[in-house]
A and B are shown apart, each in its own frame.
Chain A
């Protein structure tokens, strides 16, 4: 079955450490997105990529980095520069070039920094 896989589901890290969240899709989608969700707030865009080897900052990119070396994979690194990294992170993908295209979401990774 096609879908998006995020791993791990729960992640704990010490303050000051970088951590990488995995996102893989087998839907052959060109576009991939990373969102952050905090209690009582809507999802906010961190980074997105519409093609391999290219990505763009979203609304809250500071303290995060991404890569897109393969179409299927879009890992997100939460760096020590991110002031409030504890949050729920969601990865999504969609086709591009089609105006009204459906987005597919992963199951999310809950990151807790202690």
Chain B
């Protein structure tokens, strides 16, 4: 079982729809990251969370530490939001210090 699971794997939405992408993890973490990868491949960091909720423009990220779950919401979705969204956690324990453990990503396609 992967330590970081994302759902759904693929998501198609119509422009203007409210979108939710989910991330569940099984390890103790110090932080959770939401990343965006565009078709060209480069990755941009959207949020880093250790508790609560953060908002940036039309994007909202929440985390529930007790339930080991995070969600990324996009309000009023737009075709330019089409990308792969990746959840990554920074684990407390073992492995490479400071290393991130990545989910497989959610591919979002927003149709006009």
Contact = CB atoms under 8 A, between A and B. Distances in A.
A99 B30 CA distance: 7
Given A108-B42, A110-B41, A31 B30 contact: no
A20 interface: no
B42 A103 contact: no
Given A103-B33, A105-B35, A42 B4 contact: yes
Interface stretch (A11-19, A67-75, A88-96): A88-96
Contact of B104 (A42, A99, A106): A42
Interface in A31-52: 31, 33, 35, 40-45, 48, 50
Nearest to A98: B98
- Chain A interface extent, by class: 20 to 34
B50 interface: yes
Given A42-B103, A100-B90, A106 B2 contact: no
Contact of B44 (A40, A88, A105): A105
A103 B86 CA distance: 13
B35 A58 contact: no
Interface string B79-107: 00000001010100000111111111100
Contact of A56 (B45, B90, B96, B104): B96
A88 B41 contact: yes
A41 B9 CA distance: 11
A56 to B, nearest CB: 6
Given A42-B4, A100-B31, A100-B90, A105 B102 contact: no
Given A41-B104, A42-B103, A104 B45 contact: yes
Interface of A: 31, 33, 35, 40-45, 48, 50, 56, 58, 88, 90, 92, 94, 96, 99-108, 110
Interface of B: 2, 4, 30-31, 33, 35, 40-45, 48, 50, 86, 88, 90, 96-105
The list of the 5 closest CB pairs from A to B, nearest first, reads: A107-B42, A42-B102, A105-B43, A108-B41, A100-B31
